Amino acid sequence: MDILAIESSCDETAAAVIRDGREIISSVVATQIEEHKLYGGVVPEIASRRHCESIVGVVDESLAKAGMKAQDVDAIAVSFAPGLIGALLVGVNFAKGLALALGKPLIPVHHIRGHIAANYLAHPELEPPYLCLVASGSHSHIVKVNSWTEFETIGQTVDDAAGEAFDKAARAMGFPYPGGVHIDRAAKTGDRKKYQLPHPHTANPYDFSFSGLKTAVINLIHNAKQKGEEIDVNSLAACFQYTVSDILTQKFITAAKESGYKTLALAGGVAANSGLRSMLQQRADYNGMKVYYPPIELCGDNAAMIGCQAYYEFQAGHTAGADLNAVATMRLDRVTW
Ligand code: KG4
Ligand code: ZN
């Protein structure tokens, strides 16, 4: 089964052709980052307009790379929630029009379910049940993946998402948007013990809180400036990255131990972080657990992961009609359309 998948939930317009849920026939991602960089973050209005301009070209390119015409695909999939509403609407409307014109099924995909599915594209042996840590620009979740389409969130952020904290801390350190990758790079030559950052407490032990940590970075920089002291940015980046990774992995491994999981997966944009990957690997090895990581190019937003999850949604009978709408916020374990 060949699925043409479309993704437009934030600042990447993407399309992909995926065969039987596991094979990438083509994948095209047009990023708007350079433009949003000027404003220090994603400007929703600009994102919608750029999706509108790029979507036809991106879909055409993904079909051309696959050596296919639109009528050759068996279904159209689209990321319909959660995300920036104006951005999502572009992809949803385009997918609806295409499915209608071609007389093909329309498969709605929850964006975060897509991030989790990115792992299936690289690891043919991975199948539910397993425990997944999702760390993206707007989500931080510990999720029980009970089946291909059944999920249970057992922990989540009570304030900022991990990626959001990376981006805000990076901005305070003087890095451009999106800052996660810059912190990752800077941290490689820093001394993480040079600074101390807090481990915020949460009532539910599997929940996360990153806003205090971000504020601590901002205050530390502010205080140093007032005293005329210079900040060692690489060391602060190393300390921040270590602290976020420590919080994420500690809670994730504890949840895995307490629920008896031996198979783990990491997903979302922050899954690209080298410090997080190596810390998680070490702690999983120590506890006799196996961790799956998406390849770096599939950690951020892309349509291949949407096409992959769409295959399983379709098997479960999850298709939408012409009244499908985009939804800005939706739990990944309570998906409706
Ligand atoms: O999953 P994603 O593409 O978007 C959402 O669905 O939210 O995640 C984007 C986030 C950004 O916050 C970005 O800074 C972060 O992922 N990110 C990283 C790295 N690469 C991307 N954070 C830390 N280290 C990285 N190497
Ligand atoms: Zn995403």
pLDDT in tens, 149-207: 999 999 999 999 999 999 999 999 999 999 999 999 999 999 999 999 999 999 999 99
Ligand in closest contact with the CA of 267: 1
Which residue CA neighbors atom 14 of ligand 1 most closely? 180
Q: Which of 13, 210, 270, 279 for mutating ligand 1's site (highest number of atoms within 8 Å of CB)?
A: 270
Q: How many CB atoms lie within 10 A of CB 69?
A: 10
- Pairing label, strands 106-110, 140-145: unpaired
Whether omega before 198 lies within 30 degrees of 0, making that bond cis, reads no
The confidence score (pLDDT) of residue 168 equals 96
- pLDDT (average), residues 273-286: 98
Please tell me if the CB atom of residue 29 comes closer than 6 angstroms to any atom of ligand 1.
no
Which residue CA neighbors atom 13 of ligand 1 most closely? 180
Residue position matching structure tokens 């990752």: 184
Instruction: Return all residues near 212 (Cβ < 8 A) that are at least 6 apart.
Output: 198, 200
Q: Report the atom number in ligand 1 closest to the C-alpha of 12.
A: 3
Q: How far apart are CA 170 and CA 176, in angstroms?
A: 7
The confidence score (pLDDT) of residue 294 equals 98
- pLDDT (average), residues 103-113: 98
The confidence score (pLDDT) of residue 118 equals 98
The confidence score (pLDDT) of residue 139 equals 93
Contact by Cβ (8 Å): 166, 179? yes
Residue (of 218, 242, 138) closest to 170 by Cα position: 218
Q: How far apart are CA 218 and CA 186, in angstroms?
A: 17
pLDDT above 70 as % of the chain:
100
Please tell me if the CB atom of residue 294 comes closer than 6 angstroms to any atom of ligand 1.
no
- Mean pLDDT over the full length of the chain: 97
Residue (of 250, 251, 237) closest to 197 by Cα position: 237
Q: Helix 162-172 crosses helix 211-226 at what angle (to 10 degrees)?
A: 10
The confidence score (pLDDT) of residue 68 equals 98
Please tell me if the CB atom of residue 54 comes closer than 6 angstroms to any atom of ligand 1.
no
Q: How far apart are CA 126 and CA 165, in angstroms?
A: 30
The confidence score (pLDDT) of residue 49 equals 98
Q: Please write the tens of the pLDDT for every residue from 56-99.
A: 999 999 999 999 999 999 999 999 999 999 999 999 999 999 99
The confidence score (pLDDT) of residue 202 equals 95
Q: What is the CA radius of gyration of the chain?
A: 20
Contact by Cβ (8 Å): 138, 330? no
Ligand 1 centre distance from Cα of residue 203 (Å): 26
The confidence score (pLDDT) of residue 105 equals 98
Ligand 1 centre distance from Cα of residue 38 (Å): 18
Q: How far apart are CA 212 and CA 235, in angstroms?
A: 19
Q: How far apart are CA 267 and CA 183, in angstroms?
A: 19
DSSP state of 287: T
Q: What angle do CA 100, 28, 12 make, to 5 degrees?
A: 85
The confidence score (pLDDT) of residue 276 equals 98
The confidence score (pLDDT) of residue 288 equals 98
Q: Would you place residue 111 in the very low, low, confident or very high pLDDT band (cuts 50, 70, 90)? A: very high
Contact by Cβ (8 Å): 332, 152? no
Q: What angle do CA 227, 229, 231 make, to 5 degrees?
A: 130
Q: Which of 136, 140, 305 for mutating ligand 1's site (highest number of atoms within 8 Å of CB)?
A: 136
Ligand 1 centre distance from Cα of residue 99 (Å): 31
- pLDDT (average), residues 254-280: 98
Contact by Cβ (8 Å): 273, 241? yes
